[in-house]
Amino acid sequence: GFELPGHGETFTGAFGGGSPAVSHQAMGAMAVLVVFGLWVARSHLRDVLRRALFNDADVDDSREALSYRSAVAIWFGSGLVTIEWLTSSGMPLWAVPFFLVTAFFTFFGLARIIAEAGVGFCRAQMVAPIFSVYSLGSQPLGHAGLVSMGLTYTWAVDIRTSVMASTINGLKLADALRIERPRRLIAGAALAAALSLVTAAATTLWLAYTYGGINLQSWFFKGMPQTVFGFVADKINTPLTEPIVTSRWVFTAVGAAVMAALMALRQQVVTWPLHYVGFPIADTWVMSWVWFSIFLGWLFKLIILRYWGVQGYRQLRPLFLGFILGQISCAGVWMVIDVWTGTVGNYIHIGVR
C-alpha cells in the first residue's frame, strides 16, 4: 500500500505508531460525522440562539436540562477560559481555533458513537494535538507551541468516554423514566464531576509524593509523560516538511469523502449492510481488544430477538446487565480488600486494561 512520509505516533491507529494514512482518514471521517450532525440539528441550534440571545418566547426550554441562555453562557465562558489557558501555555493564538475545533470533533464524535452504537466506550484513531501539529506544521507553531500541544495530552488524547457521553446517556434515561425536572439531575452530575476532579487530583498528588510516582501505575507516571515529551522533542529536532503535511491533508480528505459516501448509502439504500459509525474508530487499540465482545453481544441479541422475540429480550436483559454489575462489583470488592489488608494491584477496569 501507499506509505505516507514520516512515521506514526502513539495514540494513532490500533497500537502505538499505527498507520498514519488510516489515522488521518479517521479524522476526516470524524469531522464529517460531526458536521453532518450539526447540519441536521441546525433548526434546533437556531432556536437555541434565538432563546439565549433574544429571549424569544416562542422557544420553550422549560423541560430542558439547562436553559438555553445558561448553556450558551457556559459554553462561551468556558471557551474564553480555554483560549486564555492555551495561549498562556505557549500556543499561538492563530492555532487555538483549529486545535479547539479538532478537539470538539473528537469529543462530539465519540459521544455520538457511544450513544448511537451502544458501546460503553471507544477511542478516536487520531487525536487533536497530533492532528493539529501535522496539519499546521511544527515550525509555524514554534517550540513553545509544540510544548503547549504536548500539555493538552492530559485532556484531549487518551479518551475512551467523556462527561458528554455520560450526560447523553443519563438524559436519555431521564427521558425514558419521565423525570420531570432533569435540571436537578444535571446539577447533581455537575457536583459529582467537580468533587471527582478535586478528589482525583488531591489523591494523585498525595500518592505520588508519598510513595513516589515511579512506584505507581507504570503508564500514568512513566509511559505517558515520556510519550508526551518524546513527541515534542521529536518535532523540535525533526521539523515536519511540506510533503509530510500535504500528504496527510490528502488522506484526511479521502477519509471525509469515504465517510460522506457511507452516510449517503446508509440513508438512501435500505438494504445497505454497513453502518458508517464504526469507520472513525475501527483501527484503534481499544477496538482491537473489545471487538469480539461487541460481536458476541450483537450475536446474542440477534438470536434472542429472532427465536424468543421482544418478550424474551426483555426477560433476559437483567441477566446481561448483571454481567456488567458483576464485573464492577467483583473489582470493587477486591479494592475494599486492598484497603483493609494494605495490598495493591486490584482496580476497576474502564473498558480495557
DSSP string, 319-331: HHHHHHHHHHHHH
Residue 131 to residue 249: CA distance in whole angstroms = 10
Residue 235 to residue 134: CA distance in whole angstroms = 10
* Region class of 333: left (phi > 0), else alpha (psi between -120 and 50), else beta: alpha
pLDDT tens sequence for the chain (353 residues): 556 766 667 666 545 445 788 889 999 999 999 999 999 999 999 999 999 999 998 999 888 888 999 999 999 999 999 999 999 999 999 999 999 999 999 999 999 998 888 887 888 888 899 999 999 999 999 999 999 999 998 888 878 778 888 888 888 888 888 887 788 888 888 899 899 999 999 999 998 999 898 888 888 888 888 888 898 999 999 898 888 899 999 999 999 999 999 999 999 998 998 899 989 988 888 888 888 888 998 899 999 999 999 999 999 999 988 988 887 888 788 888 888 888 776 666 655 55
Residue 254 to residue 248: CA distance in whole angstroms = 10
- H helices of 212-284, in order, are 218, 224-237, 242-268
User: What amino acid is encoded at 34 in this protein?
Assistant: V
Contact 101, 34 (CB under 8 A): no
Question: What pLDDT does residue 349 have?
Answer: 61
Buried b (16+ CB within 10 A) or exposed e, 61-71: beebbbebeeb
pTM score, whole prediction: 0.88
Contact 13, 125 (CB under 8 A): yes
Residue 178 to residue 204: CA distance in whole angstroms = 39
Contact 287, 14 (CB under 8 A): yes
Sign of the CA dihedral running 314, 319, 322, 323: negative
Question: What pLDDT does residue 16 have?
Answer: 47
Contact 276, 114 (CB under 8 A): no
Residue 40 to residue 35: CA distance in whole angstroms = 9
